Structure 1
Amino acid sequence: MSTDNGGRRHGYQTDHTTNGADGASWEEDWEDDYGPAIRATCRQIKLWREGAGLTQQELGDAIGYSLGMVSAVERARRLPHPDFLAKADRILGADGKLAAMKKDVEEARYPKKVRDLAKLESEAVEVGSYTNTVIDGLLQTEEYARALFGLRLPACSEEELERLVAARMARQEILTRHPAPLLTFVQEEATLRRPLGGRAVLRHQLEHLLELSELRHVKIQVMPTEIEEHAALSGSLRVLSFKDRTAVAQNEVQLTSRLISDPKEVRILEMRYGMLRAQALTPRESLAFIRKVLGEMT
Structure 2
Amino acid sequence: MSERDAGPAVDEEAGAVMRTVQRQLKLWRESAGLTQAEFGAAIGYGEEQVSSVERGRRIPRPEYLDRADEVLSAGGRIAALKEDLAEVRYPKKVRDLKKLEAEAVELGAYNNSVIHGLLQTEEYIRASVATRRPPFSDDELERHVAARLARQGIVGGQAPLRVFSFVQCESTLRRPIGGRMVMRRQLEHLLNVGRLSNVDLQVLPLEREDNAGLAGSFRLLRLRDGSTVGHNEVQLISRVITDPKEVQILDIRYGIIRAQALAPRESLAFIETVLGET
Name the TM-score, length of structure 1 as normaliser: 0.89
**Counterpart contact for 2:14–2:89, Cα < 8 Å:** no
Give the superposed CA RMSD.
1.3
Alpha-carbon distance in 2 for matches of 1:33, 1:70: 22
1 CA distance for matches of 2:198 and 2:74? 44
Q: Assess if the C-alpha contact under 8 Å between 1:128 and 1:240 holds in 2.
A: yes
Q: Which segment is superposed worse, 257-266 or 275-284?
A: 257-266
Which of residues 38, 56, 63 in structure 1 aligns to 2:43? 63
Match of 1:138 among 95, 118, 130: 118
Trace 1:1-298 onto structure 2 (pairs within 5 A): 27=7, 29-175=9-155, 176-297=157-278
> Residue type matched to 1:119 in 2?
K
Q: CA deviation at 1:111?
A: 0.6
Q: Matched residues in 2 for 1:119 and 1:103: separation?
A: 16
Q: Secondary structure of the residue that 1:33 maps to in structure 2?
A: helix
1:178-226 Cα offsets, whole Å, 9 max, x none, are 2441110000001001110100000000000001012111111000000
Any idea what SS the aligned residue of 1:99 has?
coil
Query: What's the CA shift for 1:33?
Result: 1.9
| Percentage of pairs with the same residue | 58
Structure 1 position 242, deviation (Å): 1.1
- Asked if the contact 2:43/2:67 (under 8 Å) is kept, the reply is yes
Mapped to 2, the partners of 1:65 and 1:149 lie a distance apart of 28
Q: Which amino acid aligns with 1:257?
A: S
Q: Could you state the TM-score of these two structures normalised by the residue count of structure 2? A: 0.95
Deviation string, structure 1 residues 73-99 (Cα, Å, up to 9, x no partner): 111221111111000010001110000
Where does residue 10 of structure 1 map in the other structure? Answer: none
Cα contact 1:29–1:112 (8 A) shared by 2: no
Shift of 1:37: 2.6
C-alpha distance in 1 between matches for 2:146 and 2:271: 27
Quote the Cα distance in structure 1 between the aligned partners of 2:231 and 2:194. 23
Q: Is the 8 A contact 1:235 1:252 kept in 2?
A: no
- The number of residue pairs the alignment matches comes to 272
**CA distance, structure 1, for counterparts of residue 228 and residue 148 of structure 2:** 23
Kindly state the Cα deviation for residue 107 of structure 1 after the two structures are TM-superposed: 1.5
C-alpha contact (below 8 Å) 2:7/2:57 kept by paired residues? no
Cα drift, residue 29 of structure 1: 5.0
| Paired residue type of 1:218 | V
Query: Would the alpha carbon gap of residues 256 and 37 (structure 1) be closer, same or farther in structure 2, given more than 3 Å must change?
Result: closer
Greater RCO (CA < 8 Å, at least 6 residues apart): 1
User: Contact 1:30–1:108 at 8 Å: present in 2 too?
Assistant: no
Equivalence for 1:11: none
The answer on whether the counterparts of 1:221 and 1:277 sit within 8 Å (CA) in structure 2 is yes
Amino acid paired to 1:209: L
- Tell me which moved more, 220-229 or 36-45: 36-45
Structure 1: gaps spanning 5 or more residues: 1-25
Contact 2:130 2:136 in 1 (8 A): yes
User: How big is each residue's C-alpha offset from its partner over 1:210-264, in whole Å with a ceiling of 9 and x where there is no partner?
Assistant: 0101211111100000001111211111100112221111223222222210001
SS at match of 2:97: helix
